[in-house]
Chains A and B, each alone.
Chain A
Amino acid sequence: MTALAVRRTLQAVVVLLGVSVVTFALVHLVPGDPVRLALGTRFDQATYDALRERAGLDQPLVVQYLQWIGRAVTGDLGVSFRSGDPVTALILERLPATLSLALASILVALLIAVPLGTASALRPRSFVDGAATVLSQIGISVPEFWMGIMLILLFAGTLGWFPSSGYVPFTEDPALWLRSLVLPAVTTGLVSGSVLTRFTRSSVLEALGAEHVRTARAKGLPPRAVLDWHVLRNALLPLVTVTGVQLAYLLSGVVVVEIVFAWPGLGQLALQAVEARDYPVLQGAVLLFAFVFLLLNLVVDLLYSRLDPRISA
């Protein structure tokens, strides 16, 4: 277990370094000059050069990278070209909003997917199965922004149950935080939930067909015990992997949904950084996404080895 954890962590560090190189290179390859964008249309060459020098943009790329990564390992991701704020602070400021949305979305997704997917698998080709298939196909194909707008129109507009947009920090008002969270979380949760429903259905179906299920029934176990311990327990394994991937996707900022709901999350931050060619913020955000992704993969791997004894430590 610990050996596996150490091995995987080292692998993750190597991958993260690779990602940092690629990110850095890509960000600098994107056409557009951040200094020019920051200065607007009227500026003189001296100001331009001074700003470039201050941002370190006059240095060779390799030097820039080494300086950036050297500071990054200490948690200093540089300062924003646009606002002059430290990037780390900007990200940390956005993190609670994204974290709230991602966790709430995955919760909504699992609350839909596990019961519905299981019910479908237990009665294949039944009414429930058919309905679940159609609904999840719709959920997968409908664009998130449209779903978000529809939910806003109905639940914020017509019914007025929830605020139409905006985020209230938990520390400010837990009740409002929850109310502000419902619509965006349901929007992304429906999409992720649709994917996970299909997935739950197929893994439960597969688990149902396993021979050990017959052994369990031949033991005379009640149906509930067979389902919980010999079907769902086994179907959980692949589901954990996919849920991890979905969560990583949600944590990397669901850009579209964050825009629709004016949600001050990381996706919005990254988008603004792209528009302003705000290299430090963009690099910091992408590095963070990569980090989150790797961290979740690591967690999934470790969880997997706990859930499946066949994966040796």
Chain B
Amino acid sequence: MTDPVTDPVTGPAHGGGTVLDVRDLRVRVDTARGTADIVNGLSYSVAAGETVAVVGESGSGKSVSVLALLGLLPGHARVSGTAAFRGRDLLAMSEAELRTVRGNGIGMVFQDPMTSLNPVLTVGRQLTEGLLAHGRAGGRKAARARAAELLADVGLPDPRGALDRYPHELSGGMRQRVVIAIALSGDPALLIADEATTALDVTVQAQILELVAGLQRERGTGVVWITHDLGVVAGTADRVLVMYGGRCVEDGSVDDVFEAPAHPYTRGLLGALPALHDEDGADGAPAERPDLVAIGGTPPPPTDLPPGCVFWPRCPVRGDERCATEQPPLVPVRGSGPVPHRAATFYGERLQQTEVGA
């Protein structure tokens, strides 16, 4: 994939330019147990044709952070910050304006294709309703023809026949292809995949990843790939953003983050990943190591985040008093390419000199 030229502040701006630019995104929800700070000042940008992976455990706020962009969170969620999509701030848009972006400029693929399609409507109906709502087809007939084309694009056998089938008549992989076809029906500049391969078999996962990569190359779509699967990140993303406790704890090019992770949490995640014995040593695969290392403890509840570093209670380094009281800012650490490599820790550079898992 291309290596976009990067401006240190706004992120990559190259080729088709910046598609999405998120600044200081915050999501709060008032709950019975107090205010939950689910996303806390997230900033990133996505260029045309680029894939940005957002990685984190469940509960790290990664899904919420993208649902917030499209106004798909429940009404009581309080969202602040800016999210410029092709220059227009999504977070300042009215519901009616957002509807013109949803499924049109931005397509979304959800986690479980078993539940993200309506079981009682045909595939054709679920594809054409979006096309018709956005005025992308003259009438029902034209919409059906376009829907069949889209199904062919995502590699569904017998696309015309599939229009009249119900989701349960298709396999999981085929259903996810349908969901992708729906996401692509608006010819989006940005595709958001929220754990889009998590519920699928490994072989099907690979097919779906390949499909999206291919479509992205053809159309120059920017992709935000939300996942907890570092294997997926390594295989597809240009850049990666590691989330913990609703914050970005590390970001940079995939090569940099995998080769020299600077944040203890990222290092923990990589330590929890089985080693790929990569004989060439190429491809940014993690170096081999003897054992899997689990990260002790659980993420803090969003209603009760620690005052200092969010990872401090679980951190194996647990540097000093400063970590417990002061939030470490996202600062540059050692990196190789034009994409800045940053980590929110006071010990980044020092950790980079040791082996992961050591």
Contact = CB atoms under 8 A, between A and B. Distances in A.
Nearest to B192: A218
Interface in A217-245: 217-222, 225, 229-230, 233-234, 237
Given A219-B103, A219-B129, A221-B129, A214 B72 contact: yes
Given A219-B133, A309-B168, A211 B112 contact: yes
Contacts of B99: 220-222
B61 interface: no
Nearest to A236: B120
A212 B115 contact: yes
A212 B116 contact: yes
Interface in A101-128: none
B197 interface: no
Interface string B86-111: 00000000000001111110011010
Task: From B70, B103, B107, name the one whose CB has the most chain A CB atoms within 10 angstroms.
Answer: B103
A63 interface: no
Interface in B49-75: 67, 70, 72
B134 interface: yes
Contacts of A220: 99-104, 130, 133-134, 186
B103 A229 contact: no
Contacts, number: 82
A222 B119 CA distance: 20
B279 to A, nearest CB: 42
Given A211-B112, A225-B129, A309-B168, A218 B102 contact: yes
Contacts of B182: 215, 219
A233 B120 contact: yes
B72 A212 contact: no
Contacts of B117: 212, 215
A7 interface: no
Contacts of B119: 212, 234, 308-310
Contacts of B129: 216, 219, 221, 225, 229
A214 B110 contact: yes
B120 A308 contact: yes
A229 B121 contact: yes
Interface in B109-152: 110, 112, 115-121, 129-130, 133-134
Interface in A168-222: 210-212, 214-222
Task: From A215, A218, A237, name the one whose CB has the most chain B CB atoms within 10 angstroms.
Answer: A218
Nearest to B101: A220
A307 interface: yes
B179 interface: yes
Nearest to B183: A218
Contacts of A222: 99, 133
A230 B102 contact: no
B168 A218 contact: no
A96 to B, nearest CB: 36
Interface string A152-167: 0000000000000000
Contact of A218 (B72, B115, B120, B121): B72
Contact of A216 (B104, B118, B168): B118
B112 A218 contact: no
Contacts of A225: 129, 133
Contact of A217 (B100, B102, B121, B134): B102
A215 B125 CA distance: 13
B347 interface: no
Contacts of A219: 102-103, 129-130, 133, 182, 185
Task: From A210, A219, A230, A308, name the one whose CB has the most chain B CB atoms within 10 angstroms.
Answer: A219
B163 to A, nearest CB: 14
Task: From A216, A221, A230, A233, name the one whose CB has the most chain B CB atoms within 10 angstroms.
Answer: A216
A307 B118 CA distance: 13
Interface of B: 67, 70, 72, 99-104, 107-108, 110, 112, 115-121, 129-130, 133-134, 166, 168, 179, 182, 185-186
Given A220-B104, A234-B118, 7 more contacts: A212-B118, A215-B108, A218-B102, A225-B133, A233-B118, A309-B119, A310-B120
* CB-CB nearest 5 A-B residue pairs: A220-B103, A220-B102, A219-B103, A219-B130, A309-B166
Interface of A: 210-212, 214-222, 225, 229-230, 233-234, 237, 307-310
